[in-house]
Every structure is written in structure tokens, then in C-alpha cells.
């Protein structure tokens, strides 16, 4: 059914997908977590309201979020080239993925933080906690289960985006599925790729939810 070469190619694609999505999720959070914290903190009902800064972040986030990923991919080619030296392949896919994921992750982080009970924040303030301590010990610590659910959602979304990156010569299973499945109509390659992608999302979803649930102390 498959040649050894094809099996190796699919395995190679799987590995690339894991690397692309893993690294992109990581760097997405490197940018998105501070962004989300800033959005939540500087909002009018945040702990350090700053209308100007909030407005700027809000608008930038919305603009990036509203550009379709496939367009962003093309628009960002010069940036990608500047960072990784070329505009195709595994490493090159990561740049636009991070840029696309960061604002989306920022919004999820913002909404997770806003779920934290205002009374608990007030209690920390009444103890003399400064802004940084409240962010670290109250906002992020209390929102941790919701933040983890966000990570699993982000992973799934970035995985979806990564398949699109295949369309412009990025690496990974998505790219294989498009090249062999769409361009050459080889269902024996297309379907394994799709099934592996589905399983990957499932696996991560189940794992993420379990960790998040195990860490939650709100139930008795």
C-alpha cells in the first residue's frame, strides 16, 4: 500500500508538524502571554488602567486577528526572510504562525485573566501587594486552569494554520497532504495525513484537559 519512501515521508512530516506547532505555540505564548496580561491589566476595569496603551494594543491585536492567515503568510515573507534567511521550509513556517497566533493567544489569556474573581484581587491589594505580585501570584496563578485550556485550543488552531502553511511550501503533514492529496490525487497519502492530524489534535486536547483538571483546586 505504501512504499518505504512514502512511510518515511509521512513520519518526517509528522515530526515537522510537531516541531512547527510546538515551537510556534511556545513563541506564540512568549509574545501572547505578556500581550494578554497587558490587555487585562490596562483595561478600564483592570488593576492598572491605562486607556491609551489599552487602545493601541486592542487595535493592533484586532488588525492582526482580522487578516486571514493565508494572506498574512504572504505579507510576512520579507520578515520571515529577514529572520530565518529563507521564505520556505519548516523554520520559515514558524514566523508567520507565531505572528498569527500571538494576538489570538493574547485574547485568550486576557479573557482567562478576566475570569479571576475581582474580590480576590481586591483582597491582595488590601494586603499591600504590588502590581507585579498581583499579576504573578493572583491573576496568573488563579487563572491557571483556564490558561491551560487556552493552550490546548491554541495548539489545535496553530495545527490548522500549519496545514495552510503547506500551501506556500512550508513543511509538515499539511504540506504533504496538499502536495500529494490535492495536487496529485493520491488518497493513500492524503488520508493517513488527515487521520494523523486528527489524532494529534485529539491527543493534545485530551492531555491538556486532563492536566488542567488535575491542577484545578476549586472542586471539593
Per CB under 8 A, does 129 bind another protein? yes
Cα 43 from chain centroid (whole Å): 23
Among 123, 198, 203, 207, binds another protein (CB under 8 A): 123
Per CB under 8 A, does 126 bind another protein? yes
Nearer to another protein, 206 or 216 (CB): 216
Helices H, strands E: what count in the chain?
A: 11, 0
Cell numbers placing 188: 493513500
Per CB under 8 A, does 127 bind another protein? yes
Among 56, 75, 120, 199, binds another protein (CB under 8 A): 120
**Which region among 61-69, 114-122, 170-178, 202-210 touches another protein (by CB under 8 A)?**
114-122
How far is 182 from 185, CA to CA, in rounded Å?
5
How far is 193 from 199, CA to CA, in rounded Å?
10
Q: How far is the CB of 97 from another protein (least distance, A)?
A: 31
How far is 190 from 187, CA to CA, in rounded Å?
5
Nearer to another protein, 124 or 176 (CB): 124
Among 74, 130, 191, 213, binds another protein (CB under 8 A): 130
Q: How far is the CB of 88 from another protein (least distance, A)?
A: 44
Q: 115, 114, 102, 92: which is closest to 166 by C-alpha? A: 92
**Which region among 8-16, 78-86, 136-144, 183-191 touches another protein (by CB under 8 A)?**
136-144
Q: How far is the CB of 18 from another protein (least distance, A)?
A: 30
How far is 105 from 129, CA to CA, in rounded Å?
27
Cell numbers placing 19: 516541531
Amino acid at each position: 500500500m505504501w512504499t518505504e519512501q512514502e512511510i518515511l515521508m509521512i513520519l518526517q512530516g509528522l515530526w515537522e508538524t510537531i516541531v512547527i506547532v510546538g515551537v510556534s505555540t511556545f513563541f506564540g505564548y512568549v509574545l501572547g502571554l505578556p500581550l494578554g496580561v497587558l490587555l487585562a491589566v490596562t483595561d478600564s476595569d483592570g488593576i492598572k488602567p491605562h486607556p491609551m496603551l489599552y487602545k493601541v494594543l486592542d487595535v493592533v491585536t484586532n488588525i492582526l486577528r482580522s487578516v486571514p492567515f493565508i494572506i498574512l503568510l504572504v505579507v510576512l515573507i520579507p520578515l520571515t526572510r529577514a529572520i530565518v534567511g529563507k521564505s520556505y521550509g519548516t523554520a520559515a513556517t514558524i514566523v508567520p504562525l507565531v505572528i498569527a497566533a500571538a494576538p489570538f493567544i493574547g485574547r485568550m489569556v486576557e479573557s482567562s485573566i478576566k475570569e479571576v474573581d475581582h474580590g480576590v484581587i481586591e483582597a491582595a491589594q488590601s494586603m499591600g501587594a504590588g502590581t507585579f505580585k498581583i499579576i504573578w501570584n493572583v491573576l496568573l496563578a488563579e487563572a491557571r486552569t483556564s490558561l491551560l485550556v487556552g493552550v490546548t485550543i491554541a495548539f489545535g488552531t496553530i495545527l490548522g494554520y500549519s496545514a495552510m502553511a503547506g500551501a506556500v511550501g512550508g513543511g509538515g503533514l499539511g504540506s504533504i497532504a496538499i502536495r500529494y492529496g490535492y495536487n496529485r490525487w493520491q488518497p493513500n497519502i492524503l488520508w493517513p495525513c488527515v487521520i494523523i492530524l486528527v489524532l494529534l489534535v485529539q491527543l493534545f486536547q485530551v492531555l491538556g484537559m486532563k492536566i488542567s483538571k488535575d491542577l484545578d483546586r476549586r472542586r471539593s
